[in-house]
Amino acid sequence: MERIYKTMTSAGAASIALGIVVVVTGIAAGILAIVSGARLLNGRKEITF
């Protein structure tokens, strides 16, 4: 029983750590997408046909 308890504890801790990494990565990707879109919208003023 103690082995199962230790396994579940380490699996739970790993899941929490993975969740934190995914949230941070998602926020960073969202910020980069917003900045990139803003630059594209701002740069379209400089295009002449």
Residue ranges of domains in the chain = 23-49
Residue linked to tokens 């082995």? 3
Distance CA 18, CA 46 (A): 43
pTM: 0.70
- The secondary element (H helix, E strand) that includes residue 48 is none
pLDDT tens digits along 1-37? 789 999 999 999 999 999 999 999 999 999 999 999 9
Q: Which residue has the tokens 């949230």?
A: 23
In this prediction, residue 46 has a pLDDT band, given cuts at 50, 70 and 90, of confident
Give residue 10's identity as a one-letter amino acid code: S
Q: Which two tokens stand for residue 16?
A: 């929490």
Spatial distance between the Cα atoms of 30 and 42, rounded to a whole number of angstroms? 18
